Structure 1
Amino acid sequence: MNGTKLGRVSTGGLRAVVLAGLMLAGTPTLAAPQAFAFEVTAYKQALAESLGEEEGIAAFYRARNFDPIWTGADDASRARRLALIEAFGMADVHGLPTAKYDARNLLNKMAVARTERDRGLLEVSLSRLFISFANDLQSGIIDDPGRVDSQIKRELPRRAPADLLARLASERPDMIFRSLVPPTQEYSRLMRAKLELEHTIRQGGWGATVPAAKLERGDTGEIVVALRNRLEAMGYLKPSLTARYDSDMEAAVRLFQADHGLAEDGVAGGATMGEINVAPEDRLKSVIVAMERERWLNLPEGRGKRHILVNLVDFHARIIDDDKVTFETRSVIGHQEHDRRTPEFSDEMTHMVINPFWYVPRSIIVKEYLPLLRSNPGAVGHLEIIDARGRVVSRGQGFAQYSGSSFPFSMRQRPGPRNALGSVKFMFPNKYNIYLHDTPSQSLFSQTVRTFSHGCIRLDDPHEFAYALLAPQEADPVNFFQSTLRTGRNAKVTLDTPVPVHLIYRTAFTKAKGHVNYRADVYGRDAEIWRALQNEGVSLMSHWES
């Protein structure tokens, strides 16, 4: 990483420049005690005035009588300045906006600070830059993801500015900057993938795209050579001179399909060929967006020793124990229609309901069922119509007089084999009315793109999921669950220890071994996030000279 360039100077070369320049920064020559008193007042006045309404930073300086942490002549202040400059030199490695964190511009600011007033202004400027950098690297560049897409329900885990500055004042600055980096293996692997993709792009990419609609085992010719070359460049096939779509190429295509969420048939058909021909620049965008999303989940309290992770676009739900996947199952998520998409958020699973009622969401009642009931009171007879006191309403009176806004009733489906929620639902109570559940529509899990629900998440193996959740509190979780299920009665089962649930959206993600995995941006959210990052100054390979 020391070879990362900043203009024409590497971070290694920059260190020497910084060390030489910072020895003089912030140490004005003062002639007399009277001048000293005047200048100190000028420093404090400049510091206080420029802080304005930034209460967090202001509180930090007031608590230390406005003593500097950046612009002093002592070794500790120089070490902080050097650490900040070196951190800026690594901004692009993390996909941060390089113009915002320009090490040369920062050096120029330091070089022109000669008076105590200059020093006060510089002190505040450096603290602001540090807080901004810390926020961007630790918890995300985009301040409000919900403004990018209203279905991203996340508040960034920002740390208090005064706490960040207090740590910087009392701990080794190089260790502080290291601690800002999200500590997950996923973030480290994404960062490595970013560097590898940049290297690939500098070397010319993966070569020519493959101009074929379909290729399969037994095919020969130049078009197969083009596919061979592309798979070799991406690391899926060992170099060879073959012009035949042989067993090795078929195996390589299967592996590629697995890494891209495609049907693993070994045939390079339309969907597979489309993914094979995606440019490395587009993959790099996905990785940079994934790094930003990983920062959003850099929670101070962590994600939970045990937690549930649902990557919506991977169509899988997983139980994670001590950073290891201990259970996973396929999932179905909300349809692409805007009001049916599954939102992204985190909450805590507190209980499951065995033999659940399905309480029909108001939106479905108004849009789908009420129009049927208005013309035929006996329609959707598998559903009960209930009043505010939970009593079943007779259908004899008819419903033609009601509109969507005046319909006073709820609707529900009783427990049973045809219940829309199946035999169990898993609750993490939230204002979006999203939960995980069983489904009688098992055929949907054979599809590769599973966007069929009204927003909730359906599980392919809900019973096994329940057994895994119950294992810490039941000696025989299988028998406990099945005996409760056989009663046919609606039963709430509380989890002794609530389990954090994180609904995420990653079109690029890694595994401990193998290639980066990529998935389709089914809701278009990552494209929106990339545009938002560009607006913040993030760009592809911005630190490399043309």
Structure 2
Amino acid sequence: MCWLWVTPSIAQVTAFKQAVAEAASTDSDIAAFYRSNDFEPLWTGKSSEHQTRRVELIRALSAADIHGLSPARYNVAALLQQMEAARTTRDLGLVEIELSKTFLQYARDVQSGTLVPSRIDSGLVRQVPYRDRTAHMTNFARSSPREFLKALPPQSAQYRALMKEKLRLEGVMENGGWGPTVSAGSLKPGQGGAPVVALRNRLIAMGYMSRSASQSYDTQIEKAVRLFQQAHGLTADGVAGKGTMSEINVSVQQRLKSVIVAMERERWINMELGPRHVLVNQTDFTAKIVDNGKVTFQTRSVIGKNTSDRRSPEFSDEMEFMVVNPSWYVPRSIVTKEYLPKLRNNPNAVGHIEITDSRGRRVNRANANFSQYTARNFPYAMRQPPSSRNALGLVKFMFPNRYNIYLHDTPSKSLFDREVRAFSHGCIRLADPFDFAYALLARQSDDPKGKFQRILKSGRETKVMLDMPVPVHIIYRTAVIDPKGKAEYRRDVYGRDAKIWKALENAGVTLGAVQG
């Protein structure tokens, strides 16, 4: 009989590889990485390279809080204890895989977010750009550990500024916050007394005015209130009315929550947004065109009404064309919920809307018995022809998507004067749609205004293709840092950020010391 003698070193290597293969078997991506590398260690080898990887990973995990993540999520203490207690080759194999699992968990969290948006709220339909996990490990093995880990979080200027604001607010909390809240429901220029002093002190603490001993609501306080209002999306009239006072009294902790949530949201869109893109921030009620990081066009917007069936969703897509003099093909939900009940009572109701059959032929209302139909069996479609009274106005901007959301004009111009502009069925209405169209067409026409106006004056429904599709990102941020590095805050109009914060809390994220 022939015996194959195996040296202890070979036996140890074999035992290590077996332990690694066994421990990795529950994670297909990790198993694939180790198989392709003949089960060689990434972390637990004896070389200085292996040691550096371990040190840099532990350093990153321990500092997860700077990204608004929870270090407890990665249980660094238990990881270190497991490493310290490893005595056998099998122990080392188990440590090896535990380090890889923790590395991949951290990499995903800090790069693409801790939460899955769709599990938080039905309006969060954004597709997060998750990276390939096996490729992560392969690239890490070939890179400088510190540089690789530093490159994982979003590299956007917005993310870096949010990190800075988080640090600033934590410092404010440690020093006692912004002081007592203002007890008055509202205040205006000329008033005096303790509430005005409290307002003055709070504005000073928040950085909107320099130190002052004034006891009255003077021009300095009025100017500070205007600055505060501008930074919070409020009507900048210098009067601390009910809405303004409510925002002034928001605590440091609440603002910090907004910043941490904004950081998570920034991780959800950690991708190339496009050198030219359209950015719609729902809480800010604005739509912007951004070219190479700079806002080149901005207009006010109206978003979906705050009801379960009308809130505007959050997602990204590509604008492909615009339709000048559009028809409005009424969504089935509006037909059955809003118009059918009216037609049952009066066949001539909503007379500005055409009713058409399955072949597109216009239905004679006098011959139709609408009372026999329900929302389920109503057989007709409804269409509003092009006109200045059309619900879509005179132009719509299309980025075809499953949610039937687009940007468009509107005949209801007065709504743009409101402070909170949540009134639509879900689509985004623009205050200056013609100028928006000119800005989009400027890249492909020497006379964008003239071209648009000629099509408009024809009265005909006309599709105008964009030579280069433009990415559209519909976001929702209650904390944004402006180009000058100043933080701006907005109301949580749909309550989505509150849900996200609750989910982050459940994942172990905390604010530290609680201050007012």
Q: TM-score under structure 1 normalisation?
A: 0.92
Residue of structure 1 equivalent to 2:161: 189
Residue of structure 1 equivalent to 2:433: 462
Residue of structure 1 equivalent to 2:347: 377
Q: Does structure 2 retain, via aligned residues, the 8 Å contact 1:290–1:509?
A: yes
Question: Secondary structure, in 3 states, of the residue corresponding to 1:426?
Answer: strand
Q: Does structure 2 retain, via aligned residues, the 8 Å contact 1:355–1:489?
A: yes
Paired with 1:418 and 1:190, the residues of 2 have a C-alpha distance of 43
| Structure 2 residue runs without a partner (length 5+) | none
Residue of structure 2 equivalent to 1:27: none
Paired with 2:417 and 2:127, the residues of 1 have a C-alpha distance of 35
Equivalent residue runs for 1:359-398 within 5 Å: 359-398=329-368
Paired with 2:189 and 2:511, the residues of 1 have a C-alpha distance of 37
Question: Secondary structure, in 3 states, of the residue corresponding to 2:79?
Answer: helix
Equivalent residue in structure 2 for 1:114, among 77, 81, 87:
87
Question: Secondary structure, in 3 states, of the residue corresponding to 2:396?
Answer: strand
Residue of structure 1 equivalent to 2:106: 133
Q: Does 1:306 align with 2:279?
A: no
Q: Does structure 2 retain, via aligned residues, the 8 Å contact 1:137–1:181?
A: yes
Question: Secondary structure, in 3 states, of the residue corresponding to 1:99?
Answer: helix
Paired with 1:539 and 1:351, the residues of 2 have a C-alpha distance of 45
Question: Secondary structure, in 3 states, of the residue corresponding to 1:340?
Answer: coil
Cα distance, 1:514 vs. partner? Answer: 5.2
Equivalent residue in structure 2 for 1:267, among 227, 239, 249:
239
Equivalent residue in structure 2 for 1:512, among 442, 462, 483:
483
Paired with 1:538 and 1:346, the residues of 2 have a C-alpha distance of 27
Q: Does 1:215 align with 2:192?
A: no
Equivalent residue in structure 1 for 2:446, among 475, 481, 485:
475
Residue of structure 1 equivalent to 2:23: 50
Paired with 2:29 and 2:9, the residues of 1 have a C-alpha distance of 29
Q: Does 1:449 align with 2:423?
A: no
Residue of structure 2 equivalent to 1:286: 258
Paired with 1:216 and 1:67, the residues of 2 have a C-alpha distance of 71
Question: Secondary structure, in 3 states, of the residue corresponding to 1:338?
Answer: coil
Residue of structure 1 equivalent to 2:295: 325
Amino acid at match of 2:311: R
Paired with 1:85 and 1:168, the residues of 2 have a C-alpha distance of 15
Cα distance, 1:541 vs. partner? Answer: 2.4
Residue of structure 1 equivalent to 2:387: 416
Q: Does 1:435 align with 2:435?
A: no
Q: Does 1:277 align with 2:249?
A: yes
Amino acid at match of 1:370: L
Paired with 1:397 and 1:36, the residues of 2 have a C-alpha distance of 93
Question: Secondary structure, in 3 states, of the residue corresponding to 2:326?
Answer: coil
Paired with 1:269 and 1:117, the residues of 2 have a C-alpha distance of 68
Paired with 1:240 and 1:305, the residues of 2 have a C-alpha distance of 45
Amino acid at match of 1:53: T
Cα distance, 1:537 vs. partner? Answer: 1.1
Residue of structure 2 equivalent to 1:95: 68
Equivalent residue runs for 1:50-89 within 5 Å: 50-89=23-62
Q: Does structure 2 retain, via aligned residues, the 8 Å contact 1:208–1:226?
A: yes
Equivalent residue runs for 1:20-39 within 5 Å: 34-39=7-12
Q: Does structure 1 retain, via aligned residues, the 8 Å contact 2:158–2:481?
A: yes
Question: Secondary structure, in 3 states, of the residue corresponding to 2:211?
Answer: coil
Cα distance, 1:39 vs. partner? Answer: 1.8
Paired with 2:482 and 2:195, the residues of 1 have a C-alpha distance of 31
Q: Does structure 2 retain, via aligned residues, the 8 Å contact 1:332–1:453?
A: yes
Q: Does structure 1 retain, via aligned residues, the 8 Å contact 2:161–2:485?
A: no
Q: CA RMSD in A?
A: 1.3
Paired with 1:394 and 1:343, the residues of 2 have a C-alpha distance of 37
Paired with 2:128 and 2:21, the residues of 1 have a C-alpha distance of 28
Residue of structure 2 equivalent to 1:402: 373
Residue of structure 2 equivalent to 1:19: none
Residue of structure 2 equivalent to 1:489: 460
Paired with 1:234 and 1:534, the residues of 2 have a C-alpha distance of 26
Cα distance, 1:242 vs. partner? Answer: 1.3
Q: Does 1:227 align with 2:199?
A: yes
Amino acid at match of 1:510: I
Q: Does 1:178 align with 2:178?
A: no
Residue of structure 2 equivalent to 1:104: 77
Paired with 1:538 and 1:504, the residues of 2 have a C-alpha distance of 22
Cα distance, 1:104 vs. partner? Answer: 3.2
Q: Does 1:198 align with 2:193?
A: no
Q: Does structure 1 retain, via aligned residues, the 8 Å contact 2:127–2:315?
A: no
Paired with 1:113 and 1:451, the residues of 2 have a C-alpha distance of 59
Paired with 1:214 and 1:405, the residues of 2 have a C-alpha distance of 50
| Structure 1 residue runs without a partner (length 5+) | 1-31
Amino acid at match of 2:31: A
Equivalent residue in structure 2 for 1:254, among 226, 232, 237:
226
Paired with 2:184 and 2:316, the residues of 1 have a C-alpha distance of 43
Q: TM-score under structure 2 normalisation?
A: 0.97
Paired with 2:15 and 2:441, the residues of 1 have a C-alpha distance of 65
Cα distance, 1:221 vs. partner? Answer: 2.1
Cα distance, 1:33 vs. partner? Answer: 7.0
